[in-house]
Amino acid sequence: MKKIFYTVLLFAGTLFTTSCLDDLNQYPHTETTSADVYTSAANYKAVLGKLYVSFVIAGQEKGGGDKDLDSNFGYDYMRCYFNMQECGTDEVVYTWLGGEKMSGLTYLSWDANDAWVSDTYYRIYYTIALCNEFLRNATDGQIEKFSESEQAEIRHYRAEARFLRALAYYHALDLYRNIPLVTENDPVGSYLPPRYTATQMFEYLETELKDVDADLLDRTECEYGRACKQAAYALLARLYLNAEVYTGTAHWTDCITYCNEILKAGYTLEGDYAKLFNADNHNRTNEIIYAFPVDATHTVSWGATTYIICGGVNNTSDTQVPADYGVSSGWGNFRLRGELPDLFSDGDGRGMFYTEGQTKTIDVVENQSNGYLPEKWTNLTDAGEAASNSNDGGVNTDFPVFRLADVYLMLAEAVVRGGEGSSRSTALGYVNNLRRRAFGNDSGNITDGQLTADFILDERARELYLECVRRTDLIRYGKFTTSSYLWQWKGGVMNGQAVDNKYNIYPIPSTELTANPNLYNENY
């Protein structure tokens, strides 16, 4: 089977169940004790599998049944994260504003009681809690009962758990900024975690990701779906790319340093851009550095890539056929705001949009005929056939968290902004590699004079749209809330308007503020 952990997942899924997280101190309840679970190296891998899939499933049964958390909607981590990163930007406009309470995200008008703001927060900290529980039971003292080879393997698992926790904490930092920090070294029970500033969280993540390097496997040794050294380097590069937003101090040279570490590992661009986002994309390890595995048999949810693919297919169209994307039905959750397709020039193969019967201008947000539809993501195999089990409601398309194209663009931006360790000519070469793939020839190549920070922002949209980076990119460029860049329905008006700068940061949910007096929001 193409994905990892699916047999162990079924075991791991029985280990943890939770009810509503009233506060961060409510760690996953266990049906069996830790002493029963952590009795073999195989069990450690089983539990590690649960940490990995906590990003893409919402419970132990199809579609989120036997759910991990009681929440407003009960959706998985990635559905929440996609909405938070995409639905307020120039890329995505949401259809079901009332029924799914999406007006706040769509119009940049949320508050500390917003359902999606809350669900995302608790999903992130649920994953963190799972990682902490694993790490409490993976200390050197806890694993000394195993053989030397088993201990060595569990140390790799331990580093991966720390990476996954760092990834979740990075998401929390990027979305909420000043957040509580809980690790495996903190008490379980009535402990109220302290509030860490964004600068403190940045320093914690920087140290943590460097510290796990020695115990993470190289890409050449790593099982598909597990985090390798290069995944940690990519997360560090992204952390450094946005350092000035988080701390007030730029780290462009550090960003270049870790991009170069990834480039040393021999990754290459996939020849066919579309194949990075189809049901056989687990074969693209030449470009994809780390992905969330998604499977239509064992990890079926109504989120992750099922949501991205089905949600972007119209469910009221007489002409668009869901089977053309390898799915049995379209959901019609979202379309694209007109500013995104406007970024693509003729011949750019990355601009994959369904336009028949669709207007580019969005006059009515809830009207599914307003806005082009994305065709970038599919559940089709390389042969153009629907992936197995797709009629059961899920898809087999993995979500690339980090890929080489993003590394090229991070390095190019850091060079343009004054970072050292590479050159403009090298950066230009990487950008033109992407454009050569996009156009199929040199017709889309740019010159050194065209390689500007603003060009790279647009190129990131063309290359990475619907990959959950757009909000972060716009904030880094000072364009998310300001009048320097307007898009349809930004701020709740058709032609767009600036909004309060407080919307660069999501608020800690009101329920969490009540539970933990150490926390507060500056502007909400």
pLDDT at 28: 38
> 25-62: per-residue pLDDT in tens?
333 334 456 777 999 999 999 999 999 999 999 766 56
pTM: 0.94
Q: Among 271, 185, 267, 187, which Cα is nearest to 228's?
A: 267
231 by Cβ neighbours in 10 Å (0-12 / 13-18 / 19+) ranks as: buried
> 78-99: per-residue pLDDT in tens?
999 999 999 999 999 999 999 9
Residues recorded for the chain? 524
353 by Cβ neighbours in 10 Å (0-12 / 13-18 / 19+) ranks as: middle
pLDDT band with cut points at 50, 70 and 90 for residue 319: very high
Please tell me the distance from the alpha carbon of residue 396 to that of residue 294, in angstroms, as a whole number: 6
Structural tokens at position 372: 């082009």
> 195-250: per-residue pLDDT in tens?
999 999 999 999 999 999 999 999 999 999 999 999 999 999 999 999 999 999 99
Q: What are phi and psi of 321, to 5 degrees?
A: -110, 115
Give me the mean pLDDT over the 385-398 stretch. 80
pLDDT band with cut points at 50, 70 and 90 for residue 63: low
Give me the mean pLDDT over the 388-406 stretch. 86
3: pLDDT strictly greater than 80 = no
Residue 93's identity, in one-letter code, is V
Please work out, in degrees rounded to the nearest 5, the angle formed at the alpha carbon of residue 446 by the alpha carbons of 344 and 435. 55
pLDDT band with cut points at 50, 70 and 90 for residue 7: very low
Q: Among 374, 379, 235, which Cα is nearest to 305's?
A: 379
Please tell me the distance from the alpha carbon of residue 333 to that of residue 97, in angstroms, as a whole number: 9
> DSSP class of residue 380?
B
Strand partners, 370: 359
> 486-508: per-residue pLDDT in tens?
999 999 999 999 999 999 999 99
303: pLDDT strictly greater than 60 = yes
Q: Among 338, 328, 331, 302, which Cα is nearest to 314's?
A: 331
Asked whether the beta carbons of 92 and 86 are under 8 A apart, the reply is yes
Asked whether the beta carbons of 247 and 227 are under 8 A apart, the reply is no
With a CB cutoff of 8 Å and minimum separation 6, the contacts of 264 are none
pLDDT at 61: 57
Please tell me the distance from the alpha carbon of residue 515 to that of residue 122, in angstroms, as a whole number: 13
Strands 399-403 and 288-292 turn out to be antiparallel
Of the listed ranges 339-353, 383-397, 423-437, the one predicted with least confidence:
383-397
pLDDT at 65: 60
pLDDT band with cut points at 50, 70 and 90 for residue 392: low
Task: Round to the nearest angstrom and report the end-to-end CA distance of the chain.
Answer: 48
Asked whether the beta carbons of 508 and 121 are under 8 A apart, the reply is yes
pLDDT band with cut points at 50, 70 and 90 for residue 5: very low
SS3 249: coil
Asked whether the beta carbons of 276 and 288 are under 8 A apart, the reply is yes
pLDDT band with cut points at 50, 70 and 90 for residue 12: very low
Please tell me the distance from the alpha carbon of residue 386 to that of residue 325, in angstroms, as a whole number: 7
pLDDT band with cut points at 50, 70 and 90 for residue 64: low
> 450-496: per-residue pLDDT in tens?
999 999 999 999 999 999 999 999 999 999 999 999 999 999 999 99
With a CB cutoff of 8 Å and minimum separation 6, the contacts of 94 are 83, 87, 100, 102, 105, 106, 333, 334, 365
Work out the mean pLDDT of the chain and round it to a whole number: 91
List helix spans (H) across 76-224. 77-86, 103-107, 115-136, 140-143, 148-176, 198-211
> 111-159: per-residue pLDDT in tens?
999 999 999 999 999 999 999 999 999 999 999 999 999 999 999 999 9
